[in-house]
Chains A and B, each alone.
Chain A
Amino acid sequence: MRRFQDKLAYGLGALCVGVAIVPLASILFEVVRNGVSALSPQFLTSPPGVFGQAGGGIANAIQGTAILLALASAMAVPFGLLSGVYLAEFGDNKCGRTVRFLNDVLTEFPSIVIGILVYSIIVLAMRGFSTIAGAVALAIIMLPIITRTTEESIKIVPSSIRDAAMALGIRRWRATISVVLSTARSGVITGILLAIARVSGETAPLLLTVLGSQFFFNGLNQPIAALPLTIYRDANLPYAFARQQGWGAALVLILMVLGLNIGVRLATRGRYNSLRSRV
């Protein structure tokens, strides 16, 4: 009887794993199956056509996503790096613990609330949806991830490296930036790439900050297109071709996100397990 229970437990466990794997397999399968037929050079290089008609593509959305990610990274990386350095170097006091805790809280925050925050501050102040607002929203989402992965990467650097730098008579901050951070750099870069992957699929904050657009990038203070927004809008349109475009856009997005994720995993095989599972 106990033997049977044991086997039953094993079986149920495997079943649960299956329950998780099936949706993943289906998503990948469906996206590829339906999206591949939408992919064409025209699809990837032209903006949407006339509304309500077939044709056109997602070039502006691809460009929009790229621009938003670049801007968001430019904002989030410096703050995240320095915060991570702060937590790793000086973070063992009460102040550091509070910051770390709040940072972890911000990581799991509903992104739509962040959208409201940026809307209230930037969109209302600028009287319009804009690229910069979207970039700020994405940067806020990226920030705690980069902070945490930077901190953990620095903590992995063996203390002998830091000792060697200090023994050469180098200032502590110099030793940290030039030696320790450089030693930790593959972990830090991993974190940044994972943050980018996570944020490239974010839709809710963009709905509230960039609105979306039929055109290419028009200026930092103008709305801009983005892949996830295209997917969302296509889902709500009653046309079959729109649905197909949606699958195509989904395919492009998922290739990007999974490409980054899997690429990072392969490149850092086994070394940063605790980082990856937290993102």
Chain B
Amino acid sequence: MEDFKIQTQKLNAWFGNNHALKDISLGIRQNQVTAIIGPSGCGKSTLIRCLNRMHELVPGARSSGSVLLDGANIYSRGIDPVTVRRRVGMVFQKANPFPTMSVYDNVAAGLKLNGVRNPDTLDEAVKRSLEQAFLWDEVRDDLDNSGASLSGGQQQRLCIARALAVEPEAILMDEPCSALDPIATAKIEQLITNLKEKYTVVIVTHNMQQAARVSDVTAFLYLGQLIEYGGTTSLFENPKEELTERYLTGKFG
């Protein structure tokens, strides 16, 4: 039996009457990058938002089934979603640094708001996170500048650093590069590859080539259902399902 870091079991999700995810069961292994691909509207974003209980923040949204984090169901009754979100971090499609805070404060925000006050601890955490996000060298002298003063690619790396600062165990990325130019994208892809040594990464992407470059395992979703799931190389070179093959060869998407 394999130990998955995160495992979904018959996960279903709705937006009102719209059945967005249907019986998704898959396991995400530790220290690997798992990509979720599929055409627009297939439920990719909904799926990862269920993994850190962000889905339920949308009015009218609900879900059923379970999501296990280290074997414990994060949806069980006694569990506080806030602690789930500390252990499973998220980076969004459009970089959203807190506009009224400096670079330093942005990275430290998660820690400060969780009660960490010691300036040395905060300094270390900020430096460590920015280094892991490949941003330290670019901002080390300008930590007090506003978070919004950075370029698009830098802002997204800032958001990654912010998510890393609270020391999550897994990081969910919802199309993190879709708003960025190729150079910024390449930087982030490189840092994702680095991140998997310490973290478990799940990345949603509509860019198949990106999934092929960056991930170890890929899941293909279509209309809310999990169509195929397996090692990236074998899924791309030898897809088992016809639907997967048609998507990969661009017959729809």
Contact = CB atoms under 8 A, between A and B. Distances in A.
B57 to A, nearest CB: 6
B86 A160 contact: no
B98 A161 contact: yes
B22 interface: no
Interface string B47-77: 0000010100100000000000000000000
Contacts of A179: 98, 109
B190 interface: no
A153 to B, nearest CB: 13
Interface residues of B, number: 27
Interface string B84-115: 11110110101011111100000001100110
Given A160-B94, A160-B96, A185-B100, A168 B166 contact: yes
Interface in A183-206: 183, 185
B127 interface: no
A4 B238 CA distance: 76
Given A169-B86, A174-B113, A163 B100 contact: no
Contacts of B94: 160
B110 A168 contact: yes
Contact of B86 (A164, A168, A174): A168
Contacts of A163: 54, 57, 92, 96
A163 B174 CA distance: 12
A170 B110 contact: yes
Contacts, number: 68
A160 B45 CA distance: 14
Contacts of A182: 98, 100-101
A171 B82 contact: yes
Q: Which residue, of A158, A168, A170, has the highest number of chain B Cβ atoms within 10 A?
A: A168
Contacts of B90: 167
Contacts of B159: 164
B114 A169 contact: yes
B83 interface: yes
A175 B98 CA distance: 11
B98 A168 contact: no
A183 B99 contact: yes
A168 B84 contact: no
Interface in A250-272: none
A220 interface: no
A120 interface: no
B163 interface: yes
B44 interface: no
B157 interface: no
A176 to B, nearest CB: 11
Contacts of B52: 167
Contacts of A175: 113
Q: Which residue, of A164, A171, A182, has the highest number of chain B Cβ atoms within 10 A?
A: A164
Contacts of A218: none
A166 interface: yes
A165 interface: yes
Interface of A: 158, 160-161, 163-171, 174-175, 178-179, 182-183, 185
Q: Which 6 A-B pairs have the closest CB atoms?
A: A169-B86, A169-B85, A168-B110, A167-B90, A160-B96, A170-B113
